[in-house]
Amino acid sequence: MAICRSRRRGGRPLLPSSIPFLRSNHLSLSLWYSDFKIYAFNYVLFRFGSAHSRFLKVWFSFGACFGVVALLILSVMLMWYSWGAISFKGGPFWFDNFFSPGSSISFLDFALLILSTLLSIAFHEFGHAIAAASEGLPIEYIAIFLAVLFPGALVALNPSSLENLSPFSSLRIYCAGIWHNIVLCLGCALTILCLPLLLCPLYTHGEGLVVLNVPKYSSLYSHLSPHDVILTVDGLRVTSTDDWFKILTRDKSQNIHKKGYCVPISWVEAGDILMAGNSNGECAQDFSPFRTLSCTNSSHFMSDKMDSLKHCLIAKDVIRLRNCGDTGEYCACSEEEVCMTPIEHPGMSWVEISYESPYRSSCGQLTPGLDPNPNQDQNPCSQSFVYIGDASFVAQSLRLSPYKPRLGLFLSLSMYIPYLMEKAIHSAFHVSLALAVVNCLPVYLLDGASILETVLCYFTQLTHREKQITLRICLLVGTSMSIITCIRVLFALYFIS
């Protein structure tokens, strides 16, 4: 969300800086612009900034350097990708991953987005206010506004007092909001990294994925239930949601080794007999197509007869058999078996999922080892099933958490607490980062415009008029390119995807 900030030079004059400590809050409403001016924090913020002025000046000096460098880098990136949008050359776009096309936004997502926005704005404006106080500038007021349909906030400063500051002191104030948003992002990232350690007394992490919710539209609705724990996908352990998405959305055509099963020859022959009665040559219901792997050491008769044929087998029975492959010891099956692998059509994937149900009353509080191929005979609460379909769609249909409660008390609540914490922290990280990025751009009414204006003060070889012309051209080009980039993002989200 962009925060539209009032220009700190020019414009209508603000109230004298000696009065705002005594004023009460004020609400003004109009058709196009409404705001709520807050004066209650002026004295507290000014006292805090003045008391720690020396430290805060050093702190915000780092922010000023970061803001100028970020302005230059993002301006170059904006020019590059805007030109790509104009010339229709396409190419990678750094902001595409911020959104997730095709995924619906729930009420929880919307509520967390609002709270994250409020938190990011508070950090942003707090930075401006404290930076101004450290320079000896009392703030006039803090305003929360709604311009047409765009919400925002600002810290109003006396323009005449700002003009008396050195350029670098002004930079410290203008870059303080961006700097605080970046610090908030770093704090969120550090919290995410330390979250398993912080929750260690009550939760285990990395021992599978706990199923929080299975929507009715999901293809896995008949297989999984809330509180189940997914252990492996295609024989690979899943310890995080990233593992889950990577395995299900990977390009299986690039796999060098193909997974197979040692199927008894009698099963294959029985399936061929059933398929022979089907005129269209397709597998009957509950059957899936398989083919033999060239690595098998089964009988010569079977390999010559069946290498190029399709065979129909019952998937839920096949996955209980011993695995084989195309290399090493896993390739070998007995003389009465043949190594077979499922046939995957374009857009359709064969996914074997193993899970356990440790919180069922009939199972007790089980803590089995994470065997990549759990044995259902030894642990009746561990099961496996095969999903055949669009793996990328089913990957987004579940609500999962890598945190498993150590105690079985209040499961529905205790399982959601780490999930909500992670989601809230991720939301705050992305919103704060977006706020910092947007305010670094050379766009009218944003912090980037004030930063660019102050940076031009260091070009002493330019006259005042030349600086004004340069500033107007840069802001016009930057605003235009930002609009083009936004149109490109909206087009990609709502028309291409």
Structure tokens at 200: 């260690």
Choosing from 125, 207, 337, 356, which is the catalytic residue? 125
DSSP tag of 220 = T
Which long-range contacts link 216-224 to residues 24+ away (Cβ below 8 Å)? 217/397, 218/394, 218/397, 218/398, 219/387, 219/389, 219/393, 219/394, 219/397, 220/353, 220/387, 220/394, 220/397, 220/398, 223/353, 223/385, 223/387, 224/355, 224/398
Contact 204, 404 (CB under 8 A): yes
Active site (annotated) includes residue 125 = yes
DSSP 8-state secondary structure symbol assigned to residue 496: I
- Buried-exposed string 95-110: b where 16+ CB fall within 10 A, e elsewhere: eeeeeeeeeeeeeeee
C-alpha span between 220 and 215 (Å, rounded) = 9
The stretches of 13-157 forming alpha helices (DSSP H) are 42-51, 53-87, 107-134
Q: Which of 427, 372, 418, 371 lies closest to 399, judged by CA?
A: 418
User: How buried is residue 347: exposed, middle or buried, by Cβ count under 10 Å (0-12/13-18/19+)?
Assistant: exposed
Is the alpha carbon torsion for 76, 79, 82, 86 positive or negative? Answer: negative
Which residue numbers are catalytic? 125
